Amino acid sequence: MTDAETRQCPLSGRRFATIVLLGPLAGSLVYALVAVTLEPDPLGFGDRLGFGLLIVFLGYGMGLVPDLVGAIVWWLIPRPRTCLSRTGLAALVGALAGVGGIAVLVPLMDLSWPDPGILALIALCGAIALVVTAIPRSGERQG
């Protein structure tokens, strides 16, 4: 990217907090929707809503560190001027932060490494979480 295509506009504290605090909610909602749709009753609860809320609750806690990492990276890197390029970059950073967060959590919590399908879903959740929290109103005019 050239200097004309990027801008290093400072990331506001409000935007940083939005990414860190609402990003895990967005990512865990995506994971819950996919999990409840593909496997409606894996634990025998018989309650899709309860299972989905359990995933959101646990996913929020597990998503805090990856979203903090994503927010720091988003703060440090130059961001493209065009919305489409900014969205693609946010998706890439969010996906890498999500998978990186799992790479940190697996040994810390003595978990087994998830299969590639789960890793892909986690990357999707991270990508969506950063896109929906970092991109809105991040253009030239903040009016």
Q: So what's the pLDDT on residue 143? A: 33
pLDDT for the residue 51: 82
Structural domain harbouring 93: 12-134
Mean pLDDT on 43-54:
78
In a domain, 142, yes or no: no
More confident residue, 44 or 68: 68
Angle, vertex CA 106, rays to CA 26 and CA 69, nearest 5: 45
Residue 87 lies in a domain: yes
The reported pLDDT for the residue numbered 111 is 81
CA–CA distance, 71 with 121 (Å, rounded to integer): 20
5 assigned to some structural domain = no
In the DSSP assignment, the letter for residue 113 is: P
Give the pLDDT band of residue 141 (cuts 50, 70, 90): very low
Residue 32 is predicted with a pLDDT of 92
Residue 103 lies in a domain: yes
Quote the number of domains for the chain.
1
Beta carbons of 111 and 131 less than 8 angstroms apart: no
Residue 80 belongs to a domain? yes
Q: Which residue has the tokens 């860190």?
A: 20
pTM: 0.83
pLDDT at residue 41 in the model: 65
6 assigned to some structural domain: no
User: Can you give the pLDDT at residue 9?
Assistant: 62
Indicate if the pLDDT at residue 103 is higher than 80: yes
Q: Which residues contact 123 (CB under 8 A, 6 or more apart)?
A: 95, 96, 98, 99
pLDDT of residue 1: 52
- Band the pLDDT of 120: cuts 50, 70, 90: very high
For residue 58, being part of any structural domain is answered with yes
Give the pLDDT score at 49.
82
User: Residue 101 and residue 122: Cα distance in Å, rounded?
Assistant: 9
